[in-house]
Structure 1
Amino acid sequence: MQNKSQQAAGTVVILGTGGTIAGSGDDVGYTAGQMSVQALVGAVPALAGRQLEAEQVAQVDSKDMSHAIWQRLAQRLAHHLAREEVAGVVVTHGTDTLEETAWFLQRVLAPAKPVVLTAAMRPATSLQADGPQNLLDAVTLAAWPGAQGVVAVLQGRVHGPAEVRKRQPFALDAFESGEDGPLAVVQEGQVRALRSWPSGEALGLERIAADAGTWPRVDIVVSHAGADGVVVEALVAAGARGLVVEGTGNGTVHASLLAALARARAAGLPVLRASRCSGGAIVGSPEGALPTAGVLTPAKARVELLLQLLLPPSS
């Protein structure tokens, strides 16, 4: 039974966006985003009697996540977080782009109240469905007075927005926080904090106020054996406003690709380098190296560069 001292007085709002957690079918050939968020809540008996509200923001497979959904989700989160009676908000999401959404929301909102993303590796109809427990843990965390910021909870582990990454394509225990480890664990309705919660200054909704269809194009290019500058040149010609390079090892980039990226920078395009390694952060910045994204994965580095390009022009 949950320790009542760990519960905050207030409502937990659950925003649905689709994903495998709302999927139907077998464990591999399922269709994501088939069940409503209200149905997901109703399928977890332990949530009965809790102060909950549910709202459907989107219904997509998260591989198809869009800037427009991000914008709408951030707006709805800001609305609910501003309500005095709301203790926290849960977002049900697909696993494929969860880490990008987490970083986007943390940078835009940096909320004092918890925003808890959760997901599932098996559809709701699976014999191994992991969604119900993950949803229960997410509601528990969203109601816990010690939580803040945008986090993700899966398999009982709470991950921060900068560190969380999907490391495995099929296993139930698919997410990790790299060398830093999880922020907390949720076990049998109890939250045990392990390190500091995410914080920082919010960029604000005004940063993303423009029509999402007009947001600047930011693309990711990959360094690998035999790489050249053809993709960079094509993306620049297609209207890219910024580029992230997924480097090898410690963010290293093939010489031919590096030359093309240097030309793009000379033409005014910002470029960030990240690493394709599954853990750790880029260390150091040798002379002549491209600016580093540090601990951010290439996908999160793309989000960061996008948000920087959305900075309003100086008056």
Structure 2
Amino acid sequence: MQSNSLEERLVVILATGGTIAGSGDDVGYVAGQVGVKELVAAVPALGPRRLESEQVAQVDSKDMSHEIWQALAQRVAHHLARPEVAGLVITHGTDTLEETAYFLHRVLSPTKPVVLTAAMRPATSLQADGPQNLLDAVTVAASPQASGVTAVLNGRVHGPVEVRKHQPFMLDAFESGEAGPVALIQEGRLRVLRAWPSCEAVGVARVLGPVAGWPSVAVVASHAGVDGAVVDAIVATGVQGLVIEGTGNGTVHASLLAAAQRAQARGLPVWRATRCPGGAIVGAPDGALPSAGELSASKARIEMLLGLMAAV
């Protein structure tokens, strides 16, 4: 039985490293140096909370891997199945947080809250934002109002489809584009703004088995002067899918488009996304590649990856 008191509702914290666990100055720090127990101990307000913690990985999130995704999905699924667990928090680096959030969203789509959080400053910084973000994330994970996979940073609760890191250094580095945040945390209280994220999950079973056997999906950017030979070279390595990060409304340079069409002729799925940080691709002109819609190129890669797994 779960208590109605937020302090008594059990939250499991899974740590993967990142800047939130970093040590050093604000730019020259080393990520993933502080363990999860130390992170929790550094937030006195978490003292009364009912928490468990587990170190799943300890990496700079720029180096996030499919192996860690697989392990994380399994551990999240394990704890979600425990009736006494109200929700989970995942501490993560900011660079690939939006990718991990989307991956877990599509694999699990949980009814309990699974909250990713991170920091733009290392734990040793005078401007450390990790402690407040961790406290906010635990607040969301313990809330009976919350559900699904979200990301909590700087007082905002972002959905996994829309969230993007839009600024490389400032504390307010994440946004949700036109959709806006799902909720806000104000004075320790949750203010819900729109529906919590949900989708038809593919299931954790799809991402089990040797990671070496996962399909390979590449992302290529369209830009002025791009040579389509880059696509030919990537296809020659044996990739099984391709996402083009297009310009504007998902437009693709003529040289790149010709190469993408050659890849399609060989049976490879090729999608087009947009490098614009907001909005979604609208329409499908004659001859256009299939659209990734509102997904960024990195999230479209995950969607294609999971789809290809189903076909194996």
How would you bin the TM-score normalised by the shorter chain? over 0.9
Whether 1:253 and 2:252 are equivalent positions in the alignment is yes
Q: Following superposition of structure 1 onto structure 2, how do residues 135-174 of structure 1 map, counting pairs within 5 Å?
A: 135-174=134-173
Quick one: which amino acid aligns to residue 186 of structure 1?
I
Separation (CA, whole Å) in 2 of partners of 1:5 and 1:273:
46
Q: Tell which deviates more after alignment, 80-89 or 282-291.
A: 282-291
Contact 2:32 2:59 in 1 (8 A): yes
The amino acid that maps onto 2:255 is S
Q: Is the 8 A contact 1:6 1:190 kept in 2?
A: no
TM-score of the superposition, structure 2-length normalised?
Answer: 0.97
Query: By how many angstroms is 1:7 displaced?
Result: 2.6
**Residue identity opposite 2:24 in structure 1:** G
Aligned equivalent of 1:101: 100
Show the counterpart of 2:56. Answer: 57
TM-score using structure 1 length: 0.97
Query: What percentage of aligned pairs have identical amino acids?
Result: 71
What per-residue deviation string (whole Å, max 9, x for no partner) do you get for residues 128-183 of structure 1?
A: 00000000000000000011110000000000000000000000000000011000
| Superposed displacement of residue 87, structure 1 | 0.1
CA distance in 2, matches of 1:286, 1:73: 40
> What secondary structure sits across from 1:201 in the alignment?
coil
Report the 3-state secondary structure (helix = DSSP H, G, I; strand = E; otherwise coil) of the residue aligned with 2:310. Answer: coil
> Are the counterparts in 1 of residues 6 and 142 from structure 2 also a CA contact under 8 Å?
yes
1:312: how far off? 4.6
Q: How far, CA to CA, are the matches of 2:49 and 2:145 in structure 1?
A: 19
Amino acid at match of 2:309: L
Gaps of 5+ in 1: none
* Structure 1 residue 6: Cα displacement: 7.2
d(CA) in 2 for partners of 1:158, 1:222: 29
Per-residue CA distance 1:258-301 (angstroms, 9 max, x = gap):
00000101101001110011111111111211111111111111
C-alpha distance in 2 between matches for 1:94 and 1:20? 5
Equivalent pair of 2:108/2:204 in contact (CA under 8 Å): yes
Corresponding residue for residue 34 of structure 1: 33
Once the 2 structures are TM-superposed, how far is the Cα of residue 226 of structure 1 from its aligned partner?
1.0
For residues 299 and 195 of structure 1, the distance between their equivalents in structure 2, rounded to whole angstroms, comes to: 25
CA distance in 2, matches of 1:82, 1:206: 14
In structure 2, C-alpha distance between the alignment counterparts of 1:186 and 1:101, rounded to whole Å: 22
Deviation at 1:205, TM superposition (A): 1.1
Question: Per-residue displacement from partner, 1:184-218 (whole Å, max 9, x unpaired)?
Answer: 00111100000001011110011111211221111
Aligned to 2:87: 88
Matching residue's letter, 1:211 = P
Count of equivalent residues: 310
**2:251 counterpart letter in structure 1:** T
For the Cα contact (< 8 Å) 2:8–2:49, is it kept in 1?
Answer: no
**SS of alignment partner, residue 310 of structure 1:** helix
Deviations 1:232-282 (A, max 9, x none): 111111111100000000000011110000010110100111001111111
Which whole-Å CA distance do the structure 2 matches of 1:199 and 1:205 have between them? 16
| Counterpart residue number, 2:232 | 233
Q: Is the CA contact (8 Å cut-off) linking 1:134 and 1:154 kept in structure 2?
A: yes
- On the 8 A contact 2:107/2:204 being kept in 1, the answer is yes
Aligned to 1:309: 308
Residue matched to 2:242: 243
Asked if the contact 1:17/1:60 (under 8 Å) is kept, the reply is yes
1:291 matched to 2:290? The reply is yes
Aligned equivalents of 1:7, 1:285: Cα separation in 2: 48
SS, match of residue 311 in structure 1: helix
Q: CA deviation at 1:10?
A: 2.6
Q: Which residue of 2 aligns with 1:111?
A: 110
In structure 2, the CA distance between the partners of 1:38 and 1:174, relative to structure 1 (3 Å rule), is: same
Instruction: Give the match for residue 193 of structure 1.
Output: 192
1:125 alignment counterpart: 124
1:45 maps to which residue? 44
**Separation in structure 1 between the aligned mates of residue 37 and residue 90 of structure 2, nearest angstrom:** 12
Quote the offset at 1:230 in angstroms.
1.0
Distance 1:8 1:262 in 2: 56
| Change beyond 3 A, Cα 1:292–1:225 | same
Q: In structure 1, what is the Cα distance between the partners aligned to 2:172 and 2:21?
A: 18
- Matched with 2:219 is 220
Call closer, same or farther: CA 1:288–1:312 in 2, change over 3 Å: closer
Alpha-carbon separation, structure 2, partners of 1:233 and 1:225: 18
SS at match of 1:274: strand
Q: How big is the shift at 1:8?
A: 7.7
- Measured in 1, the distance between the counterparts of 2:311 and 2:50 equals 39
